[in-house]
Amino acid sequence: MLQRSARRPQFFYTTAPLPCPYLAGRTERKIVTELSGPEAEGLHDRLSRAGFRRSHNIAYSPVCPGCQACIPIRIVADAFEPDRTQRRIARVNADVTATEMPARATAEQFALFHRYQKDRHADGDMAAMGFYDYRAMVEDTPIGTGVVEFRDGADRLLGACLTDRLTDGLSAVYSFYETGLEKRSLGTYAVLWLVWRARALGLPYVYLGYWVPESRKMAYKARFRPSEVLTGGAWRVLGEAAPTPEAASMTRVEA
């Protein structure tokens, strides 16, 4: 007698075309699926290794027509070697204390988030988010998630990073910080801290989302070496020869 699997099917959907937020004149489409129930953690792990990202209880990946500009990237934590600029940033922020907090939104975090959006992304959708939208972004998660808060010696909140815990690494979901402190380079410092934390936890990778070489806002992710990029269905050290477009188009995801 055949036994039926109790596992429910996982459905994937494509979004409607929208203007690309990274490259002018291009169109964005995503493939999305829901993360829910007792299998959410395992599914999120598998999808992260396949190049997906999480937002709220949704995992998504770009499937933009005629474009492969968004490249999944992760830092190899144990092998990471900071360059001269990154070592300077670490020294400048020697007074900063990082604390891992539960995934609970606070008014203090939101005030910083709002200033960051106004200064850096005033024309983006997130600039119009209110506190309840921010709280949903932080708290609406079916997996292990936390907020890393970065504070100076006066206990002032300088930055925060919404972070997911995977079985093979940490995933930087979204970070924001005081934009007027250019010398601190707080965005870079947050990534450096995640690498140090991943090492301490014995986790091999820090997932940074999508590297977009043509986008000035996203190109910085390639400065953390060694890193791996997902091309042609396999993670390869950044700088290795890329597969042919035909091979890249054959990338498949198994959920």
Per-domain residue ranges of the chain:
73-208
> For residue 59, which of 147, 176, 166 has the smallest C-alpha distance?
166
Is residue 155 classed exposed, middle or buried when 0-12, 13-18 and 19+ CB atoms within 10 A define those classes?
Answer: exposed
pLDDT for position 239: 86
Span 73-208: which CATH code? Answer: 3.40.630.30
Within 8 A by CB and 6+ apart from 252, the residues are 233
pLDDT for position 242: 52
Omega cis (within 30) before 226:
yes
Q: Residue 2 pLDDT > 80, yes or no?
A: no
Rounded (10°) angle between helices 107-120 and 131-139 = 110
pLDDT for position 56: 96
Contact 223, 191 (CB under 8 A): no
pLDDT for position 227: 98
pLDDT digits (tens, 9 = 90+) for 21-77: 899 999 999 999 999 999 999 999 999 999 999 999 999 999 999 999 999 999 999
pLDDT digits (tens, 9 = 90+) for 71-109: 999 999 999 999 999 999 999 999 999 999 999 999 999
pLDDT digits (tens, 9 = 90+) for 168-212: 999 999 999 999 999 999 999 999 999 999 999 999 999 999 999
State the virtual CA torsion across 190, 195, 196, 201 in degrees, nearest 10. Answer: 120
Phi, psi of 214 (to 5 degrees): -80, -5
Q: For the chain, how far is it from start to end, CA to CA, in angstroms?
A: 27
Contact 149, 157 (CB under 8 A): yes
Under the banding of pLDDT at 50, 70 and 90, the label for residue 136 is very high
Strands 18-19 and 71-76: unpaired
Looking at residue 56, its amino acid is H
Which parts of 79-156 are beta strand (E)?
Answer: 97-102, 145-151
Q: Residue 221 pLDDT > 90, yes or no?
A: yes
pLDDT for position 249: 40
Task: Please name the helix (run of DSSP H) or strand (run of DSSP E) that holds residue 160, with its range, or none.
Answer: strand 157-166
> For residue 55, which of 15, 9, 108 has the smallest C-alpha distance?
15
pLDDT for position 255: 38
Distance CA 15, CA 64 (A): 10
Arithmetic mean of pLDDT, 213-221: 89
Arithmetic mean of pLDDT, 231-242: 85
Higher pLDDT, 99 or 9: 99
Largest CA distance in the chain: 68
pTM of the model: 0.90
pLDDT for position 253: 39
